[in-house]
């Protein structure tokens, strides 16, 4: 229950019809719900998550273990289907897809890189062969396949690994080849679930730089789940998920000071859902002893939240 103080303000009239949520975005999740049922136990992995990602963006998704990051990525990858809500990637509505559409979506629109280096590749295939595999499935001609595989391996700095099998490569090289595989059919979106989780810090930085490179070079939109603050600190937008919902976002920009030095400015924002709900961080609530009932007041350019002394 909130007390809303009545400040006499002339409010602008709301538009007659609200614009469609995320109309301009490539990836749109709205009130996304995923419930897993195991026997009589129900787990709500996603509990009304909202997310917008624009074409060409590179974003990191962070959150505690069990917060729903992998579930979100599996849904975006077309591997898992949501229980309710809305999920759209480009033209594709991920809730109502037929089996055939799902195959086409996974083959052409998204590429997926997993954490386990070994599970991204095939032990008996060379890098060139494994990069060609998705193109063969898509009916790409042999000459084009060979040429594109060579270009991708070169772009990811593993051209020298073209004739090697996974066992003959380092973990970092394997993940670079895995990114090349994920990009084989020129997807709009590259999804990576903890792609550097099994790698040491230096190797992980190199693999992450390779993803930034493909984001810039090929314009592919990248969504990367990570636990690594080093990784999330290098993208312009980090989305934090808590209990199956988007809780906050950090935006980073580079600024050049008067001394000519460039520095990164990071600002954290709370995320408001479409119903107007926001989560006030615990330290703010504790500092002002905000408990169940608070006063909201509309000022000319901001809203205040105050403790209700009564
Ligand atoms: N196939 C499944 N069956 C039942 N419950 C599941 C399944 N997959 C995930 N869950 C549950 O859903 C919740 C979210 O899991 P998810 O793997 O998406 O979290 P996460 O943030 O990726 O965690 P981590 O960082 O540990 O990988 C967890 O409580 C998890 O136990």
Over range 31-58, report the average pLDDT: 92
Over range 17-43, report the average pLDDT: 86
Predicted pLDDT at 9: 59
Q: How confident is the model at residue 18 (pLDDT cuts 50, 70, 90)?
A: low
**Ligand 1 neighbour 78 (Cβ under 6 A):** no
SS (H, E, C) 236-249: CEEEEEECCEEEEE
Cα distance between residue 158 and residue 160, in whole Å: 5
Tens-place pLDDT, residues 61-86: 998 888 999 999 999 999 999 999 99
In sign, the C-alpha dihedral spanning 208, 214, 219, 222 is: negative
**3-state class of 22 per DSSP?**
coil
Tens-place pLDDT, residues 177-209: 999 999 999 999 999 999 888 888 888 888 999
- Please give the ipTM for the structure prediction: 0.96
Which residues 6+ apart lie within 8 Å of 228 measured at CB? 196, 197, 204
Predicted pLDDT at 1: 47
Radius of gyration over every alpha carbon of the chain, rounded to an integer in angstroms:
22
Strand 3-5 versus strand 294-298 pairing type: parallel
Whether the per-residue pLDDT at 118 is higher than 80: the answer is no
Percent of the chain with pLDDT over 70: 93
Over range 37-45, report the average pLDDT: 90
Report CA(31)–ligand 1 centroid distance (Å): 18
Cα distance between residue 94 and residue 78, in whole Å: 7
Report CA(244)–ligand 1 centroid distance (Å): 10
Tens-place pLDDT, residues 240-269: 998 888 888 888 888 888 888 888 888 888
Which residues 6+ apart lie within 8 Å of 75 measured at CB? 29, 32, 34, 46, 81, 82, 87, 94
Between 96 and 68, where is the model more confident?
A: 68
Mean pLDDT rounded to a whole number for the chain: 88
Q: Model's pTM, two decimal places? A: 0.86
Question: For 3-7, 39-43, 284-288, which range has the lowest pLDDT when averaged over its residues?
Answer: 3-7
In this structure, what are the phi and psi dihedrals at residue 56, rounded to the nearest 5 degrees? 90, -5
**Ligand 1 neighbour 37 (Cβ under 6 A):** no
Ligand 1 atom at minimal distance to the Cα of residue 71: 18
Whether the per-residue pLDDT at 19 is higher than 90: the answer is no
Mutate which of 70, 81, 244 to test ligand 1's pocket (most atoms within 8 Å of Cβ)? 70
Over range 148-162, report the average pLDDT: 96
Name which of 125, 129, 108 is nearest 182 in CA terms: 108
């Amino acid at each position: 229950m909130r007390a809303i103080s009545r400040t006499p303000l002339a409010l602008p009239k709301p538009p007659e019809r609200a614009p469609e949520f995320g109309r301009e975005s490539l990836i749109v999740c709205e009130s996304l719900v995923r419930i897993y049922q195991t026997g009589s136990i129900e787990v709500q992995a996603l509990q009304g998550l909202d997310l917008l990602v624009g074409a060409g963006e590179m974003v990191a998704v962070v959150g505690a273990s069990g917060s729903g990051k992998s579930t979100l990525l599996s849904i975006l990858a077309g591997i898992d289907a949501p229980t309710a809500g809305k999920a759209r990637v480009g033209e594709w509505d991920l809730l109502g897809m037929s089996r055939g559409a799902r195959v086409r979506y996974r083959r052409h629109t998204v590429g997926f890189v997993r954490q386990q280096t070994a599970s991204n590749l095939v032990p008996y295939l060379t890098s060139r062969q494994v990069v060609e595999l998705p193109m063969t499935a898509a009916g790409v001609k042999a000459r084009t396949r060979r040429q594109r595989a060579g270009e991708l391996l070169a772009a990811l700095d593993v051209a020298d690994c073209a004739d090697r099998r996974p066992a003959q490569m380092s973990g970092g090289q394997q993940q670079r080849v895995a990114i090349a595989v994920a990009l084989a059919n020129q997807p709009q979106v590259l999804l990576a679930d903890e792609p550097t989780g099994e790698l040491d810090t230096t190797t992980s930085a190199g693999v992450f730089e390779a993803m930034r490179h493909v984001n810039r070079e090929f314009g592919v939109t990248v969504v990367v789940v990570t636990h690594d603050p080093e990784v999330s600190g290098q993208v312009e937008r980090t989305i934090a998920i808590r209990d199956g919902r988007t809780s906050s976002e950090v935006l980073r920009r580079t600024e050049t000071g008067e001394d000519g030095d460039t520095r990164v400015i990071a600002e954290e924002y709370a995320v408001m859902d479409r119903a107007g709900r926001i989560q006030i961080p615990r330290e703010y609530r504790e500092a002002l002893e905000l408990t169940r009932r608070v006063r909201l007041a509309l000022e000319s350019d901001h809203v205040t939240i105050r403790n209700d002394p009564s």
